[in-house]
Amino acid sequence: MADQFTTTTESIIMAALSTLTSSQLNSLSHSLSSTFRRHNHHLASLLTSPALFTHTINHLYSLSLSEKSLLVARHLLSYLHLLTPFLFPSLSQKYISSSSRVCLRDLDSILLLSFFCEVRKHQPATLESVSPAHWQGILKLYGSDTMLNNLSTGFAMSLTPYQVLGTFVDLVVKCMRFVNTKGCGNVIEARKEVAASVDAVVALPSIESGGGVECVICKEEMIKGRDVCVLPCEHIFHWKCVLPWLTKRNTCPCCRFQLPTDDVYGEIQRLWDAIVKLGLSTE
C-alpha cells in the first residue's frame, strides 16, 4: 500500500499534468521516452563493459552519503526541468538554471546506483551473497532477464503516453524520497535563502524609469530616464540595489517571485513550489 508521501507526491504531479492538452501530453511523453532510451543505453553499456562498470562503481565508492544525495538531487532536478517547457512555457526558455546539468560520469553513477536500488528492492539477497567482483555479471543477468531485455527492444517506444508519464512520476517520487531521507533535510518542506542563478541575473532586462516609483530596497525614488532592473514579475528596482540582493536571495523583494538558482536543492524547491501551485489550481 502506498504511503502518504508517495500518494501526496503522485497526486500533486498528476494534478499539474492534468492542465496539459492531449497534444502537450503527447509531446511530453515523446520527450520523456527519448530521455529514457538514452538512459537505458547508458545503463546497458555500464553492465556490458567491465572497464566502465569498474570505473563507475569505484566513483560511487568514493562518494560520501551527502554527495550521493546531491547526485540523486541533480538527477531529480533534470527530470523536473523536463516538465518546465510544458508546464511553464513562458519562463522555461529565458530563465533556466544550470544546476541540473549532469556530466556523463555522474549520469552513469546515478543510473548504476538506481539499478542497485531496484535489484535490492526485488531481490535483496542477490548482491549480498557474492563479492563485489561478481556484481557486474549478476546485474547483467538480472537486467537481461527483466529490464534491459525490454529496454533494448524499444521498451520506451512501446509504451502508451500515459504509461510513459506513469513511469516518469514513479521515478520522480523515488528520487524525491531518497533526497528527502538521505540528504540535507526535507526538500519539500525546507525553506532557506539561496542566491539567484548568475545566468538568470545576467538575463534580466533594463528599462527606462518613468519616475515617481520608489525602490523598495533603498526606499528612494527612481530618477526618471535612468535604467532600472525589471524582474519577471514586473517589479522594478535600482540595479545597485537589486544585484546585492540577488547574490543572497533568489526572490523578488516585493512579491517573493523566485528566480532560478544554482543551488540544487533550492532549485528543486522552486520548481516543486510551482508544480504544487499549478496542481492546487485544478481543485
Number of H helices, E strands in the chain: 13, 3
Looking at domain 198-246, what is its CATH homologous superfamily?
Zinc/RING finger domain, C3HC4 (zinc finger) (3.30.40.10)
Cβ–Cβ under 8 Å, residues 98 and 29: no
Q: Give the domain ranges of the chain.
A: 4-185+263-280, 198-246
* pLDDT tens sequence for the chain (283 residues): 457 878 888 999 999 999 999 999 999 999 998 898 888 888 888 888 989 999 999 999 899 988 888 888 999 998 998 888 888 877 655 555 566 567 888 899 999 888 888 787 777 777 777 777 778 887 877 766 555 444 443 444 467 788 888 889 998 998 888 777 544 444 444 557 899 998 889 989 999 998 888 999 999 999 999 999 999 899 999 999 999 999 999 999 999 999 999 999 989 988 898 899 898 887 6
Read off the C-alpha cell for 254: 516585493
Rounded distance between C-alpha atoms, residue 177 and residue 3, angstroms: 11
pTM: 0.83
What's the CA angle centered on 24, arms 20 and 28, to 5 degrees?
105
